Amino acid sequence: MMKSVKTILDQLASESGRNAKIAILEENKGNQLLAEVIRLALDPFTNFYIKKIPEYLPQNTPSSSLGDALDTFLPDLANRVVTGNLAIDALRDKLASLPEAEAEVLKLVIAKDLKCGVQASTANKVWKDLVPVYPCMLASGFEQRLVDKIEFPALVQLKLDGMRFNAIVKVEEGKVEFRSRNGKELVIPNESFAQQFFVMAEMMNLGDIVFDGELLILDQSGQPIDRQTGNGILSKSIKGTMSTDEAQRVHATLWDAIPLVPFMKGKFDTEYLIRFTDLKNFITIMSREEEYSKYISIVETQTALDYELAEAIFQEYLERGEEGIILKSRQNIWEDKRAKDQIKFKGELETDLLITGYEQGTGKYEGMLGAIICESSDGVIKVNVGSGFNDEQRKSLQGEDLVGKVVAVKYNARIKNKSGEESLFLPIFVEVREDKTVADSAKDIK
């Protein structure tokens, strides 16, 4: 007898290792309802535009099914056939008509979070190309062999400490949408902010376009606030809870612009120096308007004639209290991968790990969060992180809600014990990465 989707999701949630989750999915590979649930929940290009699940009263005798909800109800939400209060009322009625376990699954799909630690890459191991993966070009960590291959002169850009994002402008539709680095929709309730991107896209005259950059939260003097507070506010855009006052403080620092069609195909051959110069020129023109400069700027950039100058610029930024730099080849083309000709220089080691479990606090932390259990995406590096949390975080962060999320961790070194098991020395919690669903693999952790 085929297991219910809810039973399988619970089984997946009870396992921390990726291989164990893959084994469960393989065992249930023939369950097409499960596959569709996973696809709809993880597909970054499918949104249902409801951020809060309404209360409902279940019917004594269910009159609908999960399969029917996925096939005939969710498309109406995704395609905006029903919107606003009508959509909320329709969802309330649909949830009430389902068996309790199936209603729970539908709520997870609507929330785009199955709470079982299964990511797109895991699902695609079992069902090939089931879930589209949102395109994103990443920089490589520092390695001397990569630096040695950089052709100088090269560009040196300030490494920012906010939330990576894309502004996708669909000119013909008159639409601007914001997405995180993994494709999650960002709701920023400020029409003026979105309008600036639309105006710039029209000026650039390249059709539908994707702007790439970093979001920051500014203080009253126009300076970025600290990372943890700022990213806490920005995370609200993922949850759909950002206030209009908070949205007024959102600022975008940009470094790239890619036409939408090649972006979706994962490759754009125009060299970076051309892309960046064009973007910089249009931002410079538009920044003459105070409203525009309030919301959008170009990333701070210098040209290094050789490695020694790049290193000197890096040290200069560290002395300013900045996080580091990105060294970029001027010949770089845009590709949906980790680029070997864009290299991160950072003053501290930091990585993004998957939370697979947690420990309750003891002593003065009794009844609170004690530590989180983390590992790299491939399970090679495993570490318990108990430092870096303040008392408020230990009280508010619920361990069971953290499992399956990605967390940023600072550390001093990558180490091995006598058994050859790998870990991190002096790990410190930085923040939950609400904008990221895939952890770093061991090969990307220095």
Residues 289 and 262 in one domain: yes
Classified as helix, coil or strand, 393 is helix
For residue 39, is it within any domain?
yes
State yes or no: pLDDT of 163 exceeds 80. yes
By C-alpha distance, which of 197, 254, 250 is closest to 222? 250
Residues 214 and 318 in one domain: yes
Contact predicate 409/429, CB 8 Å: yes
Q: Tens digit of pLDDT for each residue in 96-122?
A: 999 999 999 999 999 999 999 898 989
Question: What CATH number does residue 175 fall under?
Answer: 3.30.470.30
Residues 358 and 342 in one domain: no
In angstroms, the CA 339 to CA 332 distance is: 8
Sole residue written with tokens 């921390």? 16
Tell me the mean pLDDT in the region 252-262: 98
Q: Which residue segment(s) compose the domain that 428 sits in?
A: 349-444
Q: Tens digit of pLDDT for each residue in 5-14?
A: 999 999 999 9
CA 149 to chain centre: 29
Chosen domain end from 297, 327, 346 = 346
Residues 337 and 227 in one domain: yes
For residue 93, is it within any domain?
yes
Question: What CATH number does residue 368 fall under?
Answer: 2.40.50.140
By C-alpha distance, which of 268, 271, 249 is closest to 260? 268
User: Residue 426, exposed/middle/buried by CB under 10 A (0-12, 13-18, 19+)?
Assistant: exposed
pLDDT at 446: 87
Tell me the mean pLDDT in the region 261-271: 97
Residues 384 and 423 in one domain: yes
Q: Tens digit of pLDDT for each residue in 202-214?
A: 999 999 999 999 9
In angstroms, the CA 160 to CA 325 distance is: 8
Chosen domain end from 346, 371, 393 = 346
Residues 421 and 310 in one domain: no
In angstroms, the CA 383 to CA 259 distance is: 41
CA 187 vs CA 183, 192, 217: distances in Å: 12, 13, 15
State yes or no: pLDDT of 437 exceeds 90. no
For residue 271, is it within any domain?
yes
Q: Tens digit of pLDDT for each residue in 386-403?
A: 999 999 999 999 888 899
249 φψ region: left (φ > 0), alpha (ψ -120 to 50), beta (else): alpha
How many residues are given for the chain? 446
Residues 100 and 142 in one domain: no
For residue 132, is it within any domain?
no
pLDDT at 170: 95
State yes or no: pLDDT of 16 exceeds 90. no
Whether the bond between 153 and the residue before it is cis, its omega within 30 degrees of 0, is: yes
pLDDT at 359: 94
Classified as helix, coil or strand, 347 is coil
| Edge-first strand listing for the sheet containing 175-180 | 185-186, 175-180, 163-170, 209-217, 250-259, 296-298
Strand partners, 345: 325
pLDDT at 51: 84
pLDDT at 117: 87
Residues 174 and 275 in one domain: yes
Per the model's pLDDT, the better-predicted residue between 340 and 293 turns out to be 340
For residue 317, is it within any domain?
yes
Residues 203 and 281 in one domain: yes
Confidence of residue 150 (pLDDT cuts 50, 70, 90): very high
DSSP-assigned letters across all residues of 37-94: HHHHHH-TT------SPPP----SS----HHHIIIIIHHHHHTTSS-HHHHHHHHHHH
State yes or no: pLDDT of 1 exceeds 90. no
In angstroms, the CA 409 to CA 50 distance is: 32
Contact predicate 50/91, CB 8 Å: yes
For residue 131, is it within any domain?
no
Residues 248 and 367 in one domain: no
Strand partners, 357: 373
Confidence of residue 348 (pLDDT cuts 50, 70, 90): confident
Q: How many domains does the chain have?
A: 3
Chosen domain end from 291, 322, 346 = 346
What is the 8-class DSSP label of residue 418?
T
301-314 b/e with 16+ CB inside 10 Å = b?
eeebeeeebbbebb
pLDDT at 7: 97
pTM: 0.85
Residues 298 and 358 in one domain: no
Q: Tens digit of pLDDT for each residue in 21-78?
A: 999 999 999 999 999 999 999 999 898 989 889 999 999 999 999 999 999 999 999 9
In angstroms, the CA 206 to CA 230 distance is: 32
CA 268 to chain centre: 22
Residues 371 and 430 in one domain: yes
Classified as helix, coil or strand, 256 is strand
Average pLDDT, the chain: 94
For residue 217, is it within any domain?
yes
